[in-house]
Homo-oligomer: A and B are copies of this chain.
Amino acid sequence: MERTQGSAETGEVDPAEAFAADVFSRACTSRGALEHVTGKWSLLALTALLDAPHRFGELRRRVDGVSEKMLSQSLQGLERDGWVHREVRSSIPPHVEYRLTPAGAELAPRLLALVTFVEDHMPEVHRAREDHDSRS
C-alpha cells in the first residue's frame, strides 16, 4: 500500500516519493499500466503503429487474428493511458486514425526490440522445448 499513486487519500505525499513506482508491489498502479502495454494485442498494435498512423481496419488486417472487439478494447486502453492518439474525421464512411503520441513513440521501439529479440531467438526456443519435452 505504501509506494503507490501520489494522487489522493492522504492528501499529503512527498512529491519525490509520490510516483516512486514499484511493479513488485501488488497495489502499484504501474503494474496495471505495464499490463496494458504488454498485452498480446496492445503490444502488436503499438509496434504496428511504429511505421505510420493507421486506420482501424488497416490495423485489423495488419495484426492478423485480432478480433474487432479486442482491437477496439486494446486501442481504447492505449488511448486512455496516453500511448496512442485517436483522431476522428466525421465523414461518411467514418474515418478514424490512430497514431502514436510522443510517449508512445518512445515506448514502441522498446517493444519492437523485444519482439525482434524473441523472433531472433525462436530457433533456440524450439530447441529448448524439444529438449524439455523429450526428457518428459
Interface residues, chain A, with chain B CB atoms under 8 Å away: 5, 7, 19, 21-26, 29-31, 33-35, 37-38, 40, 43-44, 47-48, 62-65, 79-82, 103, 106-107, 110-111, 113-115, 117-129, 131-133
Contact = CB atoms under 8 A, between A and B. Distances in A.
A25 B64 contact: yes
B107 A117 contact: yes
Copies in the complex: 2
Contacts of A80: 128-129, 132-133
A34 B30 contact: no
Contact of A118 (B33, B40, B118, B131): B33
19 contacts: A21-B122, A22-B119, A23-B118, A24-B62, A24-B64, A26-B64, A29-B126, A30-B115, A30-B118, A34-B115, A37-B114, A80-B133, A81-B128, A82-B124, A82-B127, A82-B131, A82-B132, A107-B121, A114-B114
